[in-house]
């Protein structure tokens, strides 16, 4: 007679293969070792009993609950979907579909794509920033790594540590701010980051040996996020290229707020022929260029009986709003000491003058005091 545990294991093996096949077809999984790791660390062991399922692609967002709908829960676990496990830093209901998601079981496609970049070798010492449920730490252990993982939320860290220990994965879990890394425990061969960062903390570079790798979701103030793959050099810097899109919850210490007032004194009105929708959505290459040239400028598209692109600087001193018009002359409002729309329009034009390079032609170098984007070559730094 087949026991429930054995039946679940057999079903998991079948569903893992189907999921891996789908990820491979999409290009997110090419290394057979990672496919084996998906079997060695089954995702259902790390899934919350109740959460909010958010597919990476088409499909409805919905509550998943192992107790009330075990079949639907299982389907969500073995689909390419993230499952929100915490909202509002623990103050809200993670299955409610409201509030700011602050922790999740990441989608398999995102996880495997970053593990491909990290290229773990047996025996590697890996520092992970953002433990979450512990699934990625288990996967890296299955790949032969010695993993130290950091979770800023003490309750989540405790749950992940218990889960990893119960299922036999030897992982050190630290409850602390991941921005500082793990002083005294390096050097590491690799750093795996599962939260978005606007600036790469230099502590991660310092704690990685020369030749070691850092992979992280770079989430600049402007535009969408990017996969970032850095290699630490002998001179103490880290440098590497952007490698596709990424969207992750932010490192807590790097969250920023966006606000544009409705009006106020000192508002300047002008016009522009540059379509704000093209600036907002025209190209991931333009996103990278604008983020590199204007690292403290944020942009948010709005639909208010017509398209608007709102801009603000991180310091909160300046803002702008460009409203799309069917006439070809778009209305611009700006306030503060900086003309933010003019700055963004100039950065966009520079990207156009460079031949509209794609995102993958951009890279980043992180040093003790600077973080600079470059085009094609680390010597070709982007400067405003």
> Which positions are annotated as active-site residues?
106
DSSP 8-state assignment for residue 161: H
State how beta strands 146-151 and 125-129 pair: parallel
Q: By C-alpha distance, which of 94, 30, 100 is closest to 62?
A: 94
Q: What is the 3-state composition of the chain as percent helix, strand, coil, each rounded to the nearest 5? A: 30, 30, 40
Which tokens hold the place of 140? 């890296």
For the CA atoms of the chain, what is the radius of gyration? 22
Residue 5 class from Cβ within 10 Å (0-12 exposed, 13-18 middle, 19+ buried)? exposed
Between CA 328 and CA 333 the distance in angstroms is 16
DSSP 8-state assignment for residue 66: T
Cβ atoms 293, 300 nearer than 8 A? no
Bridge partners (DSSP) listed for residue 381:
374
Between CA 132 and CA 150 the distance in angstroms is 9
Between CA 97 and CA 311 the distance in angstroms is 28
Sign of CA dihedral 341, 347, 352, 353: positive
Q: Which residue has the tokens 């602390």?
A: 176
């Amino acid at each position: 007679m087949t026991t429930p545990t054995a039946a679940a294991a057999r079903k998991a093996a079948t569903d893992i293969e189907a999921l891996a096949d789908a990820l491979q077809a999409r290009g997110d999984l090419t290394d057979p070792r990672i496919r084996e790791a998906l079997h060695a660390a089954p995702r259902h062991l790390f899934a919350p009993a109740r959460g909010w399922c958010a597919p990476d692609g088409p499909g409805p967002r919905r509550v998943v609950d192992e107790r009330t709908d075990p079949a639907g829960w299982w389907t969500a676990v073995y689909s390419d979907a993230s499952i929100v496990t915490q909202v509002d830093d623990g103050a809200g209901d993670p299955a409610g579909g409201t509030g700011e998601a602050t922790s999740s079981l990441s989608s398999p496609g995102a996880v495997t794509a970053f593990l491909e970049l990290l290229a773990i070798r047996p025996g590697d010492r890996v520092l992970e920033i953002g433990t979450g449920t512990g699934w990625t730490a288990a996967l890296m252990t299955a790949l032969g790594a010695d993993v130290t993982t950091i979770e800023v939320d003490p309750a989540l860290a405790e749950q992940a540590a218990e889960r990893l220990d119960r299922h036999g994965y030897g992982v050190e879990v630290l409850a602390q701010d991941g921005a500082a890394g793990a002083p005294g425990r390096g050097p590491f061969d690799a750093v795996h980051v599962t939260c978005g960062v606007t600036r790469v903390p230099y502590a991660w570079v310092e704690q990685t040996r020369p030749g070691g790798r850092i992979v992280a979701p770079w989430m600049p103030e402007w535009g969408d996020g990017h996969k970032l793959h850095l290699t630490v050099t002998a001179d103490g810097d880290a440098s590497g290229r952007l490698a596709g899109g990424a969207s992750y919850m932010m490192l807590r210490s790097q969250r920023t707020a966006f606000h544009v007032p409705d009006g106020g004194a000192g508002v300047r009105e002008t016009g522009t022929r540059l379509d704000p929708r093209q600036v907002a959505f025209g190209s991931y290459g333009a996103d990278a260029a604008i983020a590199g040239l204007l690292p403290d400028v944020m942009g948010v598209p709005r639909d208010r009986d017509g398209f608007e692109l709102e801009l603000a600087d991180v310091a909160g001193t300046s803002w702008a709003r460009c409203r799309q018009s069917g006439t070809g002359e778009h209305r611009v409002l700006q306030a503060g000491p900086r003309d933010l729309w003019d700055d963004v329009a100039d950065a966009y034009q520079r990207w156009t003058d460079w031949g509209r390079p794609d995102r993958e032609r951009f890279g980043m170098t992180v040093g003790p005091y600077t973080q600079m984007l470059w085009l094609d070559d680390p010597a070709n730094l982007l400067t405003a």
